[in-house]
Chain A
Amino acid sequence: MSIVIRKSTIDILCAAKWIARRDCRALSSVPEKVDIGEEVKEKVPGHKPRAHNPLLEYRHVYPEFLPDPNPKWRNSLREKMERADMLKRRSQIDIPEFYVGSIVAVTISDPHAQGKTNRFVGICIDRKGSGLRAEFILRNVIDHQGVEVRYELYDPTIQLIQVLRLEKRLDDKLYYLRDALPEYCTFPLDMDPEILPEGTPVPLNPVQVKLKPRPWLERWERQELKGVSNIEEHLKEKDRVRRELRKTPWEKYDLMKQYRKTIPAEDQSEIWNEVYNQLQQMRVSRKKMSRKRTFATPKTQLA
Chain B
Amino acid sequence: MFRILMNKLSTIQSHGFHTTTCLNEVQLLTRLRVVDNSEIGKRAMAEGKPPKVICVYNKKRVGYIGDRVMVAIKGQKKKGILVGLKQTQKVKVPKFDSNNIVLIDDNGTPLGTRIHVPIPTILRTILKERTHAKGADYTKLLGIATRFV
- Given known pairs A118-B121, A150-B89, the reply for A2 and B96 (CB within 8 Å) is no
B11 to chain A, nearest CB (A): 13
Q: Do the beta carbons of B122 and A112 come within 8 Å of each other? A: yes
Q: Do the beta carbons of A150 and B92 come within 8 Å of each other? A: yes
- Tell me which residues across on chain A come within 8 A of B125, comparing CB atoms: 111-112
Q: Do the beta carbons of B118 and A142 come within 8 Å of each other? A: yes
Q: Do the beta carbons of A118 and B89 come within 8 Å of each other? A: no
- Tell me which residues across on chain A come within 8 A of B96, comparing CB atoms: 145-148
Q: What separation, in Å, do the CA atoms of A112 and B139 have in the docked complex? A: 13
Q: What separation, in Å, do the CA atoms of A143 and B89 have in the docked complex? A: 20
Chain A residues 1-40 with CB under 8 Å of chain B are: 2-3, 6
Q: Do the beta carbons of B148 and A145 come within 8 Å of each other? A: no
Q: Do the beta carbons of A135 and B91 come within 8 Å of each other? A: yes
- Given known pairs A111-B125, A143-B116, the reply for A148 and B148 (CB within 8 Å) is no
Chain B residues 32-48 with CB under 8 Å of chain A are: 35
B76 to chain A, nearest CB (A): 25
- Given known pairs A110-B121, A178-B97, the reply for A142 and B149 (CB within 8 Å) is yes
Q: Do the beta carbons of B91 and A113 come within 8 Å of each other? A: no
- Tell me which residues across on chain B come within 8 A of A217, comparing CB atoms: 21
Chain A residues 134-176 with CB under 8 Å of chain B are: 135, 142-152, 155, 157
Q: Do the beta carbons of A149 and B121 come within 8 Å of each other? A: no
Q: Do the beta carbons of A113 and B147 come within 8 Å of each other? A: no
- The digit string for B77-98, where 1 denotes a CB below 8 A from any CB of A, is 0000000100001011111111
Q: Which 9 A-B pairs have the closest CB atoms?
A: A146-B97, A145-B117, A112-B124, A112-B121, A148-B95, A112-B125, A149-B94, A147-B94, A142-B118
| Residue positions of A touching B, CB distance < 8 A | 2-3, 6, 108, 110-113, 118, 120, 135, 142-152, 155, 157, 178, 217-218
